[in-house]
C-alpha cells in the first residue's frame, strides 16, 4: 500500500521535474552545434540521432535531478545530460554495422562512459577499432563536460568508486547486448553470470539492469549532497542495480517489442515464455525495487522515481496490447496508487 507521503512525494517530483526540463533542453541544444560539425557522415548521423530521436532519454534522466539538493542541482543535471548524450551516441554507433570484431569495438567505444566519471584519469583511443573516427572531438567534449561537472559535486568522493563501476557495467552491457544477436546471447549470458549481483534474479535480468544508465545518474545526484556517506551510496546502488535498472530496460523493451521483432533486434522480453511470465518477472522486480528503495536515503523521492518509470512506460501507446495489459495490471498492483497517479499524469501530459 502506498503511503500518503509517497503520493505527496510523487506530486512534488512531477512538479520539480517540469521545472528541470528547460535546463536539460538548453544543454541538449548546446550539443547540437558540435554534433552537426562532425566531419564523418556516419558519426554525425549517430550524434544527430542521439540528440533528436533519442533525446527523450536525456529528458527522462533529468528526473534524477529531484534527488539533488538545490545548491548543486544544476551541476548534477549538466553532468547527467552530458553522460546520457554520450550513452545514446554510443548506442547509435553500436547499432551501425561494424567490420572486424563488433564486440571488441563496442567495449572500447563504451570505455568512454567510465572515463566520463573518472576525473583526472587518462582517456583511451575509443575509436581505435571503429571504422570511423573523425568526430571533431565530439565524444571527448562530452567526456570532459561530464568530468568537469562531477568533480565539482561536493559528495563525489563518497560515490566515485560505485559510479565508475556502474558506468563500466553500463558500457559492457550495451556492448554485449548489441553483440547478442550474432551468438544467440551466449556471450551476454556468460558476462551477466560473472557479474557480482545479488541472488534471486535471472541472468538476463542482471544483464538488463547492468546495461541501464540509471544507477550512474542516481549516484551523480547523491554526489550533489555533501552529507552523502559511502554506505548511503551503496544503498542507492542496491536499489538501482539490478531492480530499477532492469525494470527500466524491460519496460523499454516492452514498448519496442514489435519494432525489434520486425528488425530482428535483441529484446530482453524474448527470454520470457510469454506475456504472463513477463508480467510475473516485472512484478517481482518492482517488489524488489520497493524493498531496496525503502532503505535508501531520500527514499520517498526514489519511490517517486520508481513510480514515474512505471507510469512513463505503461502509458506508451506503442506497447503491444498482448504484452502491455498483463504487465500493466501486475505493476500497478505491485507499485500501488503512486504508479496509477504517475500513469494518469503521463497520459494527461501526452494529450496536451
Q: Is the pLDDT of residue 92 over 50?
A: yes
Q: Is the pLDDT of residue 229 over 60?
A: yes
Confidence (pLDDT) at 100: 79
* H or E element that contains 203: helix 203-211
Q: Tens of pLDDT along 195-221?
A: 999 999 999 999 999 999 999 999 999
Residue with cell 544527430: 48
Confidence (pLDDT) at 1: 45
Q: Among 8-22, 110-124, 280-294, whose mean pLDDT is lowest? A: 8-22
* pLDDT band at residue 243 under the 50/70/90 scheme: very high
* pLDDT band at residue 62 under the 50/70/90 scheme: confident
The burial of 118, by beta-carbon neighbours within 10 Å (0-12 exposed, 13-18 middle, 19 or more buried), is given as buried
Tell me the three-class secondary structure of 63-116, residue by residue.
HHHHHCCHHHHHHHHHHHHHHHHHHHHHHHHHHCCCCCCHHHHHHHHHHHHHHH
User: Mean pLDDT over all residues of the chain?
Assistant: 94
Confidence (pLDDT) at 5: 77
Q: Is the pLDDT of residue 352 over 60?
A: no
**Nearest partner of 54 among 14, 97, 86, 15, judged by Cα:** 86
d(CA 130, CA 116) in angstroms, rounded, equals 19
The predicted model gives 49-65 an average pLDDT of 93
d(CA 70, CA 63) in angstroms, rounded, equals 14
Q: Is the pLDDT of residue 2 over 70?
A: no
Q: Which residue has the higher pLDDT, 229 or 347?
A: 229
Question: CA dist 210 to 42, 91, 106, 169, Å?
Answer: 28, 15, 16, 5
> Is residue 62 a contact partner of residue 145, using CB atoms and an 8 Å limit?
no
Q: Tens of pLDDT along 276-292?
A: 999 999 999 999 999 99
d(CA 76, CA 80) in angstroms, rounded, equals 6
Confidence (pLDDT) at 89: 98
The predicted model gives 101-117 an average pLDDT of 96
The predicted model gives 20-33 an average pLDDT of 94
Q: Is the pLDDT of residue 61 over 50?
A: yes
* H or E element that contains 177: helix 156-183
Q: What is the pTM (predicted TM-score) of this model?
A: 0.96
Amino acid at each position: 500500500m502506498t503511503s500518503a507521503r509517497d503520493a505527496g512525494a510523487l506530486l512534488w517530483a512531477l512538479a520539480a521535474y517540469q521545472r528541470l526540463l528547460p535546463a536539460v533542453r538548453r544543454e541538449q541544444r548546446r550539443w547540437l552545434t558540435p554534433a552537426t560539425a562532425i566531419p564523418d557522415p556516419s558519426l554525425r548521423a549517430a550524434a544527430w540521432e542521439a540528440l533528436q530521436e533519442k533525446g527523450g532519454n536525456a529528458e527522462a534522466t533529468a528526473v534524477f535531478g529531484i534527488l539533488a539538493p538545490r545548491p548543486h542541482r544544476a551541476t548534477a543535471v549538466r553532468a547527467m545530460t552530458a553522460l546520457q548524450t554520450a550513452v545514446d551516441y554510443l548506442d547509435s554507433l553500436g547499432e551501425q554495422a561494424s567490420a572486424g570484431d563488433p564486440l571488441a569495438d563496442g567495449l572500447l567505444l563504451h570505455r568512454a562512459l567510465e572515463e566520463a566519471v573518472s576525473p583526472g584519469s587518462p582517456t583511451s583511443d575509443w575509436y581505435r577499432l571503429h571504422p570511423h573516427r573523425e568526430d571533431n572531438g565530439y565524444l571527448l567534449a562530452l567526456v570532459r563536460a561530464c568530468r568537469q561537472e562531477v568533480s565539482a559535486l561536493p559528495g563525489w568522493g563518497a560515490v566515485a568508486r560505485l559510479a565508475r563501476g556502474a558506468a563500466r557495467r553500463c558500457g559492457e552491457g550495451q556492448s554485449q547486448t548489441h553483440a547478442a544477436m550474432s551468438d544467440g546471447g551466449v556471450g551476454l549470458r556468460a558476462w551477466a553470470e560473472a557479474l557480482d549481483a545479488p541472488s534471486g534474479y535471472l541472468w538476463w535480468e542482471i544483464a538488463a539492469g547492468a546495461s541501464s544508465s540509471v544507477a550512474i545518474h542516481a549516484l551523480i545526484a547523491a554526489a550533489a549532497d555533501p552529507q552523502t556517506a559511502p554506505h548511503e551510496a551503496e544503498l542507492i546502488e542496491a536499489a538501482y542495480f539490478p531492480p530499477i535498472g532492469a525494470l527500466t530496460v524491460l519496460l523499454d523493451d516492452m514498448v519496442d517489442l514489435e519494432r525489434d521483432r520486425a528488425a530482428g533486434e535483441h529484446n530482453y522480453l524474448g527470454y520470457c515464455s510469454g506475456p504472463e511470465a513477463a508480467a510475473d518477472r516485472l512484478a517481482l522486480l518492482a517488489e524488489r525495487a520497493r524493498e531496496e528503495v525503502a532503505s535508501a536515503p531520500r527514499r520517498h523521492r526514489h519511490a517517486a522515481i520508481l513510480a514515474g518509470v512505471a507510469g512513463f512506460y505503461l502509458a506508451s501507446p506503442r506497447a503491444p496490447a498482448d504484452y502491455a495489459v498483463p504487465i500493466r495490471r501486475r505493476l500497478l498492483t505491485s507499485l500501488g496508487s503512486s504508479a496509477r497517479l504517475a500513469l494518469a499524469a503521463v497520459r494527461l501530459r501526452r494529450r496536451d
